[in-house]
Chain A
Amino acid sequence: MSPPNSAERPAVGRGETVAADAPVRLSEAGGAGLGSRSSVATASPAVHTVALHKRFGNTIAVKSLSMTVERGEVFGFLGPNGAGKTTVVKLLLGLSRPSGGEALVLGAPLGDLETRRQIGYLPELFRFQPLLTAREVIRLHCRLLGRPKTAWTQDANEALHTVGLLERADDRVGTFSKGMQQRLGLGVALLGTPALVVLDEPTSALDPVGRHDVREIIRNLRERGSTVFLNTHLLEEAQHVCDRVAVIDKGTAIATGSLGELLGHHSRVRLKVEGLGPNWWSGLGRFGRWHREDEWTIVEDIDPKRVADLVGELVRLGGRVEAVVPEQQSLEARFLELLSER
């Protein structure tokens, strides 16, 4: 995958530095505008939305959402129930029309038919034709995708193997459990090596083994260069596989960035230092806020990159550093904090 054309990329990106005290707000990406269609398809981001808006009657499901998902990254779309995740995905796939705003998926406008050939989609709530067998479902999708007929058998075997359904390949889907249907859905979403795979709560019906398998599948997709758009309310899932996440609540992204960026500047360090006088830390305020907990000294809000400097400084002052325990705020705590900040 060639690197995205940075001139076209809006301000929000992977490497953006963020003010330490504010959650990573989405800047007005709208300023960058939508890349012209003439630009080479691979140069465009996988997903780019500008002020995307969707209302159902009086409910505003998506509120001026602007975001960019780069090619090749695993992007977590994280939010509580009813945040608007599914609605956004449906808009991106052209299953539902936006009430306002614009978006490009793989460089094409929403609902573009040819682009769908390069998108694999696992819906949140779905069923396959109950009277077809798993193998027949896959062949149907091969046909709809326009895969060459000679490839169908191998495609089906590969997909069924990947999701662990090979033994049940010739059973009717109507006899499958919800989790097995979800596995099959995942297999179908992977057909034809799509450039973008959109997974809406892919593990909602899966057992722990299934969840583990899904993580493996997502990692393989990344290795292969596919972009993954993962909708989830499971923080753990995002933590395991995502390069970058957007936290969405009430239809708006309230933070985006890598997990490190989201958590990093809110980390703290626990120190045990001997051999220094009372209130020895009072001169070290520039590293963060200090306080004591029993024999531990705790520095809040320290930039993780400066921990080494801090230790060096303590040693220089003549202290004996017995323990340095970096403590990242848990994603859950950070998540709740972000949601309550609004």
Chain B
Amino acid sequence: MSQILTIANLTITEAVRRRLLAAFLAITVVIVGLSAWGFDRLSHAQSLTSGESNIAVPQALILFLFMFSFVLALSASAIASPSISSEIESGVLLTVVARPIRRTEILLGKWLGLAVLLAGYAAGVCALEFAVVYWVSGFVPPSPFLVGVYLFAEGALLLTLSLALSTRIPAIAAGVVGVAAFGAGWLAGVVGTLGTGLNIAALRTVGDVGRFLLPTDGLWHAAIYYLQPSSLIVQHFAEGQRSDPFFAQGAPSWAYLLWVLCWLFILLLAAVTSLERREL
């Protein structure tokens, strides 16, 4: 365990020195600032009734967090994909693996360090954004904490996938595969939503299979669910528009969350095995 913490600590130190945190912080301030202005305009618009505004703000927040979830996923993939492969190429890993440390510990340490960074980033942006939205419009999501947790979990899945790929393929390839998988997962989710709305079984299956293979979209919908105030849900069903990809029908099932945990575990196991077997 202490070896895992040593590597996690090292990973975070290196990220800080690489000015990664500074870059994230700068981006965050810019996007949250812009959104503050947008939400202020939206909630004080003369053309909207207060009822319309009560729905427009959470919808805009969902769109904003969709963009943020993409940034988060991209960041997770970007920080994880070079973490093993580049160190093997440069020979940095060679100086560590010869020590009394298991490769499993190296991998888990890296995963832990990166996950802590990701969690900090997700928590920071969510807290800031929710505070700003509350401040300008008075809206508070039903469960802001769970929104943050699911957004982080979505990023963590991608982080794990990229890390696993990074044990075998070069950084750029791992990053591209990670981001492409994320996009494909989202697309499968949209197709599934369409299938449900139009009642086309084949399309619905695509969505289900997609959410099973890469649960990022499923987690994104969990986050949406905890962002939706009851007014939005009531309106959604009243209008009968059933194929909105930015709407969540219900909370994620326990079975699904269990599967997400399994998925994470399987991928970590794959990453560990792959690194243990690799010739250095």
Contacts and interface: CB of A to CB of B under 8 A. Distances in A.
Contacts of B97: 95
B14 A145 contact: no
B279 interface: yes
B253 interface: no
Contacts, number: 62
A114 B99 contact: no
Contact of A131 (B17, B91, B98, B101): B17
Interface residues of B, number: 21
Nearest to A140: B10
B6 A140 contact: yes
A144 B101 contact: yes
A58 to B, nearest CB: 16
B112 to A, nearest CB: 16
Given A95-B279, A123-B95, A188-B95, A129 B14 contact: yes
Interface string B219-242: 000000000000000000000000
Contact of A143 (B6, B92, B98): B6
A126 B91 contact: yes
Given A95-B280, A97-B279, A129-B14, A185 B99 contact: no
A336 interface: no
A141 B13 CA distance: 15
Contacts of A125: 91, 94
A65 B279 CA distance: 20
Contacts of A146: 100
B199 interface: no
Given A96-B279, A113-B102, A125-B91, A131 B96 contact: no
Nearest to B97: A95
Nearest to B99: A144
Interface string B1-31: 0010010001001100110000000000000
Contacts of B96: 144
A127 B102 CA distance: 20
A292 to B, nearest CB: 57
Interface in A176-197: 185, 188
Given A95-B280, A144-B3, A129 B10 contact: yes
B90 interface: yes
Contact of B280 (A96, A128, A188): A96
Interface in B116-130: none
A288 to B, nearest CB: 48
Nearest to B96: A144
B248 to A, nearest CB: 42
A90 B280 contact: yes
Nearest to A89: B98
Contacts of A121: 98
Nearest to B10: A140
A131 B95 contact: no
A71 B11 CA distance: 37
B10 to A, nearest CB: 6
B189 to A, nearest CB: 38
A185 B92 CA distance: 11
Contact of A119 (B10, B98, B102): B98
A165 B56 CA distance: 63
B99 A128 contact: no
Nearest to A137: B95
Contacts of B92: 126-129
Contacts of A95: 94, 97-98, 279-280
Interface in B55-101: 90-92, 94-101
Contacts of A128: 92, 95
Contact of A145 (B17, B91, B99): B99
Contacts of A129: 10, 14, 92
Interface of A: 90, 93, 95-97, 113-114, 116-117, 119, 121, 123, 125-129, 131-132, 140-141, 143-146, 185, 188
**What are the 9 tightest A-B residue pairs by CB atom distance, in nearest-first order?**
A126-B91, A144-B99, A131-B17, A121-B98, A116-B100, A96-B279, A123-B94, A95-B280, A117-B100
Given A128-B95, A143-B6, 10 more contacts: A90-B279, A116-B100, A123-B94, A123-B95, A129-B10, A131-B17, A132-B14, A141-B95, A144-B3, A145-B100
16 contacts: A90-B279, A93-B98, A95-B279, A97-B279, A113-B101, A116-B98, A126-B92, A126-B95, A128-B95, A129-B10, A131-B17, A132-B13, A140-B6, A144-B3, A144-B6, A145-B99
